Amino acid sequence: MLGNFNYCNPTKLYFGEEAIKNLSDELKNYGKRILLVYGGGSIKKNGIYDEVISILNEEGKEVTELSGVMSNPTLDKLYEGVNLARKNNIDFILAVGGGSVVDYSKALSASIHCTEDPWQKFYIRMEDPDNEIVPLGDILTMVGTGSEMNGGAVITNTKEKLKIGKVFNEKVFPKFSILNPKVTFSIPKYQMVAGFFDIMSHILEQYFSNTDDNTSDYVMEGLLKSLIHSSLVAVENPEDYEARSNIMWIATWALNTFVAKGKSTDWMVHMIGQQVGAYTNATHGMTLSAVSIPYYRYIMKDGLKKFKRYAVNVWNVNPAGKTDEVIAKEGLDAMEQYMNKIGVVMKISELGVKEDMISDIAKSSFILPGGYRVLTADEIEIILKKSM
């Protein structure tokens, strides 16, 4: 049975090869002083930077640049951005980059006019902003996180070794997102497949919970099938527009709040993966791939009915003459084979995790109650050891 919910997603999307043409009109809706936020420079290599600057100039905007937003953006970088934005009295944030740049820009948009320490308020006490929000829009260049149409803003506190995802309310969602699948052709393969698995993980985190019959599960099975098919095509030919455009669209739907409505969700792969990230600064999608199979094998019996359904409906396992447990296991085996085929990391040891970090990673992982089994820190340690 679906639970009660409110649904509102205020982000306007522009999708396709010509999507950037809408930037000028969008910018007319906002003030003059623009903060242009980007990462380590990929946008200068692939020409997007020049294109954006010329549109900003044509619109007569005053541009302040904030570059060097790193993957897994840090709290120190957030403080730097807050100071810069305050000094320049910024009216609008234009984020050009991947999930890290877009997440960072959301954290910034909520923090610029916040009179308290944003880490304490938004990330520790998990409060919503009660101050003015500086609006933001984005041009997405990397696919996976879903940040283009949600309130997620993951920040890493390197001193405290905590990577925390704040989910802001609709006021902080991007006002618009510009999605051109062609822009994703230049993503390096390692990042590309990490993004593919991030999408898969977002869907599975919301799929592996609840035993009721609900529409979201059918939607998610469809998204998964399309993702599996298109990602295998894209790994062979990264410039296959059909595959890359499908994947870009699946990523948005996987985490734009829609499939989670009315049902419980798990998110333990992300909780463990995020702490692996906090200790290693590894690529987000790879922290998820490395812990997923050990985690799902560990909880499989607790959610057997759903794991069986997953095996049959998503991985086409033939159930004839087999026990539920064998069917479910074959589904996870098929998932593991697929992961090896697209080339994601399967071991946390390959991400820089050492034996002596495991206990701290386990103890510092947040434990959420929405999945088929509420883990203890000791159980997280077992799962992490299986991933070494």
Q: Where does this chain bind ligand NZQ (CB under 6 A)?
A: 39-43, 46, 71-72, 97-101, 103, 141-142, 144-147, 150, 152, 154, 165, 183-184, 186-187, 191, 195, 198, 255, 270, 284
The distance of closest approach from Cβ of residue 284 to ligand NZQ in the complex, given in angstroms and rounded to an integer, is: 4
Which CB, 40 or 343, lies closer to ligand NZQ? 40
The distance of closest approach from Cβ of residue 60 to ligand NZQ in the complex, given in angstroms and rounded to an integer, is: 27
Partner from ligand NZQ, Zn ion, none contacting 147, C-beta within 5 to 8 A by type: ligand NZQ
The distance of closest approach from Cβ of residue 155 to ligand NZQ in the complex, given in angstroms and rounded to an integer, is: 8
109/173 Cα distance (integer angstroms): 10
H or E element that contains 291: helix 284-299
Which CB, 48 or 327, lies closer to ligand NZQ? 48
Which CB, 46 or 157, lies closer to ligand NZQ? 46
* Of 306, 256, 16, 307, the residue nearest 145 (C-alpha): 256
Confirm if 202 and 255 have CB atoms less than 8 A apart: yes
The distance of closest approach from Cβ of residue 68 to ligand NZQ in the complex, given in angstroms and rounded to an integer, is: 8
Total residues in contact with Zn ion, by rule CB under 5 A: 1
H or E element that contains 113: none
Measured between alpha carbons, how far apart are the two ends of the chain, in Å?
Answer: 39
The distance of closest approach from Cβ of residue 39 to ligand NZQ in the complex, given in angstroms and rounded to an integer, is: 2
Confirm if 294 and 386 have CB atoms less than 8 A apart: yes
* Of 380, 209, 373, the residue nearest 302 (C-alpha): 373
Q: In sequence order, which residues have a C-beta less than 8 Å from that of residue 72 and are 6 or more positions away?
A: 100, 154, 156, 163, 277, 281, 284
Which CB, 91 or 128, lies closer to ligand NZQ? 128
The distance of closest approach from Cβ of residue 275 to ligand NZQ in the complex, given in angstroms and rounded to an integer, is: 11
Which CB, 163 or 329, lies closer to ligand NZQ? 163
C-alpha distances out from residue 320 to 256, 281, 337, 354, Å: 37, 44, 21, 43
Neighbour tally for 304: CB within 10 Å: 16
Partner from ligand NZQ, Zn ion, none contacting 154, C-beta within 5 to 8 A by type: ligand NZQ
The distance of closest approach from Cβ of residue 367 to Zn ion in the complex, given in angstroms and rounded to an integer, is: 18
C-alpha distances out from residue 21 to 18, 25, 148, 180, 287, Å: 6, 8, 18, 11, 36
The distance of closest approach from Cβ of residue 219 to ligand NZQ in the complex, given in angstroms and rounded to an integer, is: 18
The distance of closest approach from Cβ of residue 285 to ligand NZQ in the complex, given in angstroms and rounded to an integer, is: 6
H or E element that contains 243: helix 241-254
Write out the binding residues for Zn ion, residues 187-226 only, by CB under 5 A: 198
Which CB, 103 or 198, lies closer to Zn ion? 198
Partner from Zn ion, ligand NZQ, none contacting 141, C-beta within 5 to 8 A by type: ligand NZQ
- With residues binned 3-state (H G I as helix, E B as strand, rest as coil), the percentages for the chain, rounded to 5, are 55, 10, 35
Residue with tokens 């002596």: 356
167/150 Cα distance (integer angstroms): 8
What pairs with residue 63 in β-bridges? 34
Partner from Zn ion, ligand NZQ, none contacting 226, C-beta within 5 to 8 A by type: none
Which CB, 56 or 268, lies closer to Zn ion? 268
**Is 266 among the residues that bind Zn ion (CB under 5 A)?**
no
In the complex, which residue's CB is closest to Zn ion? 198
Which CB, 194 or 314, lies closer to ligand NZQ? 194
263/211 Cα distance (integer angstroms): 10
352/283 Cα distance (integer angstroms): 11
Partner from Zn ion, ligand NZQ, none contacting 111, C-beta within 5 to 8 A by type: none
Partner from Zn ion, ligand NZQ, none contacting 186, C-beta within 5 to 8 A by type: ligand NZQ
Contact footprint for Zn ion (CB under 5 A): 198
